[in-house]
Amino acid sequence: MITLLVVVFVLGYMAIAFEHGIGVNKAGSALITGVLCWSILALLGPHGAHLTEPLTHHLGEIAGIVFFLLGAMTIVELIAAHGGFDLITDHIKETRRVRLLWTIALLTFFLSSVLDNLTTTIVMVTLLRRLLTEHRDRVYFASVVVLAANAGGAWSPIGDVTTTMLWIGGQISAAGIIGSTFLPSVVSQAVPLVVLSYRFDGRITAAASPVLPNGTGPTTKHQRSMLLLGLGALLFVPLFKTITHLPPYMGMLISLGILWVVTAFMHKEKDAHQRKALSITSALERADAPSILFFLGILLSVAALQEAGVLASSATWITQQIGDHSVIVFLFGLLSAVIDNVPLVASVQNMFSLTEFPMDHSFWQFLAYCAGTGGRALIIGSAAGVAAMGIESITFFWYLKRITGYALLGYAVGALAFLLQDAIL
């Protein structure tokens, strides 16, 4: 049963990787893979048809991610519809590729630590579409956004779902994770940027600002208001979670609801056509539904592997074979590029206790860095990568050929920086 389950997952993974070659959208392949994996568990597993309760449990966690993603995408689309991002792009006048590359990377790096790497990627890739005309430029810059978003999220307790898990689980503190992983995260992002800078010469072709017909576009006041309200709504999510201890998607949903009401009153004097164009309903229609379904399918697949014990047994086997905890965590980070880092971190949390490694032990801090940055090695290895893949149609093999090497270099040098810092301090 386990062998068949792994084979189905690998075949589904290959179908996703060869999406453009076989002409099937990755969402379709992911959904089929997810359902087939659970079907195998139901038909051949020891629990048989009694999988409703664990499936419902996993689906609850997955739904949280899906609703969070849907809400974030809708808010970003709403800001874009009001021209809010134009206020940012209007202040980015740089046309030299190297300087623009560093500007975008630094903005992404710090923004992702305040929001989260997924939301930041959605915001920044949307911004890039308003800055760059050439698709070739956009896919390179979007890939750099993926690198920067994951690096920026790794040093913040609310920047990545895995650091949040470790924070809630008591393995790390907010001050501890920032102090221990900020420098390694900076190094892991700076190294690829320095190397890439030698390839980015010349100037970019700037995209023209969209012109809406009949003067139906929002005023500068509404642009500014919606940009501040939208970003404020996203920033409110971690605050809401801290206050209420409810899952992040609850904060995203209430933020979405508030913006729904605000925009209804903001545009109540406009005609029906204008109200619709600037409404939440219209923003929902523009949200990337295939990417959301892809998340659903791939997370269902990983949940099936977790339920079958494949992830836990793999982690135990690696521990027995290797022994050195730093090497194990480093390899877990690389493994997160293939299999979602959330169940991997959850498995590690269950494998090692706070008695063995107390709060803010370097083991947990190194795990936060590796889980947060290791997934960058493949485009489907992180939520940020999947979002960029869906928005800009970045193919698996394009990223593998042109970006993976830089991502691995940054990951390795950042890990070395962490170990050296830990040894010195």
- Measured CA to CA, the distance from residue 111 to residue 106 in angstroms comes to 8
Residue 361 backbone class (left: φ over 0; alpha: ψ -120 to 50; beta: rest) = beta
Residue 382 backbone class (left: φ over 0; alpha: ψ -120 to 50; beta: rest) = beta
- Output the pLDDT for position 49: 64
CB 74 within 8 A of CB 114: no
Rounded to the nearest 5°, which phi and psi values hold at 159?
-90, -20
- Mean predicted confidence (pLDDT) in 120-125: 84
3 state DSSP class of 23: coil
Closest CA to 369 of 207, 227, 191, 162: 162
- Output the pLDDT for position 213: 43
- Output the pLDDT for position 224: 83
- Output the pLDDT for position 414: 95
- Output the pLDDT for position 194: 92
- Mean predicted confidence (pLDDT) in 71-89: 80
DSSP code of residue 214: G
Is 50 exceeded by the pLDDT of residue 333? yes
- Output the pLDDT for position 208: 53
- Measured CA to CA, the distance from residue 68 to residue 65 in angstroms comes to 5
Rounded to the nearest 5°, which phi and psi values hold at 132?
-120, 135
Q: What percent of the chain has pLDDT over 90?
A: 21
Which range of 99-108, 208-217, 295-304 scores highest in mean pLDDT? It is 99-108
More confident residue, 90 or 223: 223
- Measured CA to CA, the distance from residue 370 to residue 336 in angstroms comes to 9
Q: Which of 322-357 are b and which e, b meaning 16 or more Cβ less than 10 Å from the residue's Cβ?
A: eeebbebbbebbbbbbebbbbbbbbbbbeebeeeeb
Q: Which domain holds residue 298?
A: 2-424
- Mean predicted confidence (pLDDT) in 415-422: 94
CB 177 within 8 A of CB 163: yes
Measured from the Cβ of residue 70, the count of other Cβ atoms closer than 10 Å reads 21
- Mean predicted confidence (pLDDT) in 10-19: 81
Q: Residue 96 pairs with which residues in a beta bridge?
A: 203
Residues in the chain: 425
- Measured CA to CA, the distance from residue 274 to residue 271 in angstroms comes to 6
Q: Which residues contact 196 (CB under 8 A, 6 or more apart)?
A: 101, 144, 406
User: Could you give the number of structural domains in the chain?
Assistant: 1
More confident residue, 288 or 213: 288
Q: Residue 132 pairs with which residues in a beta bridge?
A: 206
- Output the pLDDT for position 212: 45
Place of tokens 């048809």: 49
Which range of 80-84, 219-223, 352-356, 399-403 scores highest in mean pLDDT? It is 399-403
Is 80 exceeded by the pLDDT of residue 119? no
- Mean predicted confidence (pLDDT) in 120-140: 83
